[in-house]
């Protein structure tokens, strides 16, 4: 992963949230493009609060060369009443 490639992914529209997999097994998520600041060697990622509002409530940093995989992901949309659906039973 290069800083230039990460910037290209952050500039894509419509933006898809990104999950960064690091060499040590940790995972970082970028849910909004404005919550990431990329330098040649580091990416600073803002962590939003529970309500996903801005500004970030804290920051995390990771080394760009340690990013081994980037994958887009969908953010679960709020909805429903929060009740769990019963498991489907298998026929006998």
Domains of the chain by start residue, with CATH? 3-72 (2.30.30)
Residue 33 has phi, psi (to 5 degrees) of: -60, -30
CA distance 38 to 3: 7
Q: What are the tens digits of pLDDT across the range 42-61? A: 999 999 888 877 789 999 99
* End-to-end alpha carbon distance in the chain: 50
CA distance 35 to 30: 7
Segment 32-50 mean pLDDT: 95
The predicted pLDDT at position 91 comes to 59
Which two structure tokens, joined as six digits, stand for 69? 């995989």
Count of all residues that appear for the chain in the document: 92
Residue 49 or residue 5, greater confidence: 5
Structure-token match 């309500």, residue found: 51
What's 88's DSSP letter? P
Model-wide pTM > 0.85: no
The predicted pLDDT at position 59 comes to 96
């Amino acid at each position: 992963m290069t800083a230039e490639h990460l910037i290209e992914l952050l500039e894509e529209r419509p933006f898809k949230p990104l999950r960064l997999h690091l060499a040590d097994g940790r995972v970082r998520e970028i849910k909004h493009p404005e919550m990431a600041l990329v330098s040649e060697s580091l990416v600073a990622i803002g962590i939003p609060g529970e309500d996903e509002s801005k500004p970030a409530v804290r920051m995390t940093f990771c080394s760009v060369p340690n990013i081994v995989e980037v994958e887009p992901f969908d953010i679960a949309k709020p909805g429903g009443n929060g009740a769990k659906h019963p498991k489907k039973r298998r026929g006998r």
